[in-house]
Amino acid sequence: MKLRELRELLAEVAGHDDVEVKFAYNYGDYWRTQVAADIKEVNLGSVEYSQYHSMDKLIDNDEEEGKKHRLVIVLS
């Protein structure tokens, strides 16, 4: 998702400025419970695709010089 797309989605819920924002994910338990965690930070970060995880992983720019990475906005 691009920041532009996120802004468009947020515009659809305009008028709810005092509603909390959460990040939902599968907790990984037997019941596949969807939990909603607080978002405490919004930062720019670098990611690269991880074959092991089959998804992007955050990388430390200092440790991963020379590797192909992408700049992303990270909600944590």
Task: Give domain limits for the chain.
Answer: 3-75
Chain centroid to Cα 53, Å, comes to 15
21-29: which pairs have CB atoms within 8 A and are 24 or more residues apart?
23/75
Does residue 52 register a pLDDT over 90? yes
Does residue 56 register a pLDDT over 90? yes
More confident call, 1 vs 68: 1
pTM comes to: 0.75
Chain centroid to Cα 66, Å, comes to 24
Distance CA 6, CA 13 (A): 11
Does residue 30 register a pLDDT over 90? yes
Distance CA 41, CA 72 (A): 14
Does residue 37 register a pLDDT over 80? yes
The reported pLDDT for the residue numbered 68 is 82
Does residue 10 register a pLDDT over 60? yes
Contact 23, 39 (CB under 8 A): yes
